[in-house]
Amino acid sequence: MNKVTITYEGSQVSCDPDKSILENLITQDIDVTYSCQKGSCLTCVMKTDHDVDPKSRAPLKPTLVEQGYFLGCQQKPNDGMVINAADQIGVFHNVRVTNIELRGGQVAIVRLTVPDGYEYRPGQFVNIIGPNYTLRSYSIASIPLDDELEIHVKEHEFGTVSRWLCDKSLIGQEIEISEPEGQCFYLPGRSSSPLLLIGTGTGLAPLIGIIRDALSQGHDGKIELYHGAVNDDGLYLIDELQSLSSEYDNLSVHLGVLNKGSLNHTLEGAINDIALSQHHDLTGWRVFLCGDPDMVKKTKTKAYLADAALSDILADPFDIQDVKN
Amino acid sequence: MSSLYERIGGDAAVEAAVDVFYKKVLTDDSISQFFETTDMDAQREKQKKFLTVAFGGPNDYSGKDMRAAHAHLTLTEDHFGAVAGHLQATLEELGVPEAEIGEAMAIAASTHDDVLGL
């Protein structure tokens, strides 16, 4: 196979032209920051003056594109490309952990101070720098009216960052978070159009942010939330959801578990199947899907076939990869 | 005489047809595997491009591109026939006159060898 040569951080790197620049760097053990490898997390952003595939720039802000930034995971190497790492642009903010509250299903609700002038849309996500510079993305569950930034962390047995964030000894310490990223959020306007939100596990975090955001902006159309978990204890926000739905007439909350337990009012089965069996016609609906990537992908197709416009289906697949462990 | 693309209604017609067409393709188990992707938005754009070609509209597809774009797929006569069938059904459903459907189908048929790599 013909190899191409690029220059990365001043060193020549021989690359397989059929693989992404990021993949080439990773397989050669070159130190590079990355996480999802799917063009979602934006952590593998790099800089070049050479032409790149528009796809590698599509998720970036125009101001970054203007400066030559692109995503290494979405770009194949061209012979002679000169590339530099872009650690500087990932503007990170120091924030203090104000509280860590352990809930069911090994989920912790983590609250952080908000950096001065920090502008975010509920449903977007932040990248957090964990131990050994491991980065992970977490969706924002709070709204700008709140005093604190709230994220929901599911503790994974081998998750360096999640175990660290679920450890109460972190309370009071400072950690670093990125600028908010992502396109899965509520857009004002069409305030009476119905919203369907489906999330599994901590996929609920962005959804609750989106719902509270929509309500605070006066959304008066129907809001149907479906939250699914494996067992009852994975329905970690049940009290908050019930009190919110009793406060707002237009909000209905549906909870589902794969293994039906003793909780009343829960449905049994895959939450996406339950939701779509109750909504056959999604014409005019806005649909938000968050959580397990496979669920998100399948449900996106089904929502489209149920006549939701593709531009009205916003999805945030949680592509978690413990790549640096 | 104006082009087929203009007579059918230009970009607005393609936009109206693309969802009808893409949904037919996605629900056809004999071919849906070729259209399964995480990026449905990009896939829909591809379908729109295909319809623009079939309508004789402005396109940046050459026969060579058509060949390259399908080279990595293992496609058979049946797959080609299924997609062509969905195109015809889409146009009929949208009330496109028979003569124009004939023209579009002839254009689609002209891509046969390139799509199947013959």
* Among B27, B38, B40, beta carbon nearest to A310: B40
Which tens digits make up the pLDDT trace of A19-41? 999 999 999 989 888 888 888 88
Query: CA nearest A296 in B: which residue?
Result: B38
This complex has an ipTM of 0.84
A317 chain-B contacts, CB cut-off 8 A: 38
CA–CA distance, A80 with A87 (Å, rounded to integer): 22
What lies within 8 Å, CB to CB, of B109 at 6+ separation is: B84
Percent of chain A with pLDDT over 90: 70
Helix (H, G, I), strand (E, B) or coil at A75: coil
pLDDT at A161 over 50: yes
pLDDT digit string (tens) for A162-215? 999 999 999 999 999 998 888 889 998 899 999 999 999 999 999 999 999 999
Residue among A293, A297, A305 whose CB faces B26 most closely = A305
Closest CA to A267 of A284, A278, A254, A283: A254
The answer to whether residue A323 scores a pLDDT higher than 50 is no
pLDDT of A87 over the 70 cut: no
Query: Is the CB of A304 less than 8 angstroms away from the CB of B27?
Result: no
Nearest Cβ partner for A305 among B23, B38, B44: B23
pLDDT of residue A322: 40
* Burial classification of residue A15, based on how many CB atoms lie within 10 Å of its CB (0-12 exposed, 13-18 middle, 19 or more buried): buried
Contact A72, A87 (CB under 8 A): no
A310 and B23 in contact by Cβ < 8 A?
no
- How far apart (Å, rounded) are the C-alpha atoms in residues A27 and A4? 15
For A135, the token pair is: 């980065």
Distance in angstroms (rounded) separating the CA atoms of residues B15 and B1: 23
Contact between B40 and A301 using a beta-carbon 8 Å cutoff: yes
Of A297, A305, A311, the CB nearest to B27: A305
The closest alpha carbon to A138, from A244, A212, A40, A39, belongs to: A40
Please report, for residues A50, B9, B96, the alpha-carbon distance to residue B108 in angstroms, rounded to integers and kept in the order given.
Answer: 38, 18, 16
* C-beta atoms of B44 and A300 within 8 A: no
pLDDT in tens, B76-108: 999 999 999 999 999 999 999 999 999 999 999
CB of B27 within 8 Å of a chain A CB? The answer is yes
b/e per residue B50-75 (b: at least 16 CB within 10 A): bbbbbbbbebeeeeeebbeebeeeeb
Residue-wise over A63-93: b if at least 16 C-beta within 10 A, else e? ebbeebbbbbbbbbbbeebebebbeebbebb
Q: Do A305 and B40 touch (CB under 8 A)?
A: no
Does position B1 have pLDDT exceeding 70, yes or no? no
Per-residue confidence (pLDDT) for residue B78, from 0 to 100: 94
Q: How do residues A291-305 score in pLDDT, each as one tens digit? A: 998 899 999 999 999
Comparing alpha-carbon positions, the chain B residue that sits nearest to A312 is B41
Structure tokens at B117: 């790599």
**Average pLDDT, stretch A135-160?**
94
Instruction: Give Cα B15 distance to the centre of its chain.
Output: 13
Phi-psi region of A182 (alpha: psi -120 to 50; beta: other; left: phi over 0): left
Q: What does the mean pLDDT of chain B come to?
A: 88
What pLDDT score does B68 carry?
85
Residues A140 and A125: beta-carbon distance below 8 Å: yes
